Amino acid sequence: MPASREVVFVDGVRTPFGKSGPKGLYAETRADDLVVRVIRELMRRNPALPPERVDEVAIAATTQIGDQGLTIGRSAAVLAGLPKSVPGYAIDRMCAGAMTAVTNVAGGISFGAYDVAIAGGVEHMGRHPMGEGVDPNPRFLSERLVDGSALIMGMTAENLHDRYPSITKERADAYAVASQEKVAKAYADGRIQHDLVPMATRKAAEGWGLATADEPPRPGTTLEGLRTLKTPFRAHGRVTAGNAAGLNDGATGCLVAAEEVAGELGLTPRMRLVSYAFAGVDPEVMGIGPIPSTERALRLAGLTIGDIGLFEINEAFAVQVLAFLEHFGIADDDPRVNPWGGAIAFGHPLASSGVRLMSQLSRHFADNPDVRYGITTMCVGMGMGGTVIWENMA
């Protein structure tokens, strides 16, 4: 049995995220082509890595049909021009798909089965809305295994507001405004662009275009404007399109390697994997998932929340982030949390978002060499949470 090895995050890239629907950036662009673009860019940015040294391509998608089907990790690897000797597979853990792709290949690297792997995710919610083709077993409701709201993410967010009465709509809206402002500033400061790969787009009526920036952000969002939005999941509710992530399209990918192999190949790692954990919660309040997953990851690492100097939390809903912060005694506006904003502004193409969190955390580490530990964490549909703890190598 080989001794376990340290696992490092070398590089991460993503397409700009688009709005789903007929007017969105990628309305007539294939999902697998988004992944292909990401894989090719990872290889272009890391010329020291021989393509034949990639041992696995793990790509997540929540809705694995159509152009997100056909074992997309393998099919995208072939389409991207990697040697036919490079295997690949598809993976699904809903919103934490890309995060799970990373932790899966990391386990293989630590064990010695792989040296280098590509992990990422894609979601084209315009072509494949969440739940397309799904046939939930009637026992879920007939035997009251879950509440009827469990499969409607916006309703689970309303349930979370019920559980945390201190998290008001005003507080959620204020958090959302701050997220939009941080993303706008990060773009103005040129911080986001490093991780984006321009993506060719085509529409029959308009011809060719080039996506170079995220489409979902709404600069200039105000509290006054958010107060007027409808609450579609409950009459007089608190969850709106303004304090939640939208429906989006996009792909992400990263290079993960054994630390010793990265050194041999001349690759520069940005951060080292310390621990990870996934946890299950009641599906009707899936937004609390990051709390137990983070507690478990901290326990496995022998750390406390006080040891964490940077947080990248996926903003599926403002209430879900605020519940996490409240639980751990962290202020809503703590500068360690999502320094460049989050999914409320960037968008959340389900299975791809985990690697966006990692790429941005690695950039924060480079800016803050005095910070040793950071986490990426997210809630997951059907009642789960996922957390990965990283160590700064800047």
> Are 76 and 32 a contacting pair, CB within 8 Å?
yes
Helix, strand, coil percent values for the chain (each to nearest 5)? 40, 20, 40
Enumerate the β-bridge partners of residue 272: 8, 391
* Cα gap 320→322, rounded to integer Å: 5
> Are 102 and 119 a contacting pair, CB within 8 Å?
yes
Quote the crossing angle between the two packed helices 169-188 and 318-328, to the nearest 10°: 100
* Cα gap 366→360, rounded to integer Å: 10
> Are 32 and 72 a contacting pair, CB within 8 Å?
yes
* Cα gap 263→268, rounded to integer Å: 7
> Are 123 and 18 a contacting pair, CB within 8 Å?
no
Catalytic: which of 128, 161, 348, 364?
A: 348
Q: What is the DSSP letter of 233?
A: T
Cβ atoms < 10 Å from Cβ of 366: 13
The span from the first CA to the last CA of the chain, in angstroms, equals 32
95 belongs to the catalytic site: yes
DSSP string covering 133-189: T----THHHHTTSS-TTTT-HHHHHHHHHHH-TTS-HHHHHHHHHHHHHHHHHHHHT
> Are 229 and 46 a contacting pair, CB within 8 Å?
no
| Helix and strand element counts for the chain (H, E) | 12, 12
254 belongs to the catalytic site: no
| 296 Cβ contact partners less than 8 Å away, ≥ 6 residues apart | 277, 279, 387
Catalytic: which of 128, 254, 364, 379?
A: 379
Q: Is 257 helix (H, G, I), strand (E, B) or coil?
A: strand
Catalytic: which of 95, 128, 161, 254?
A: 95
- Residues that are catalytic: 95, 348, 379
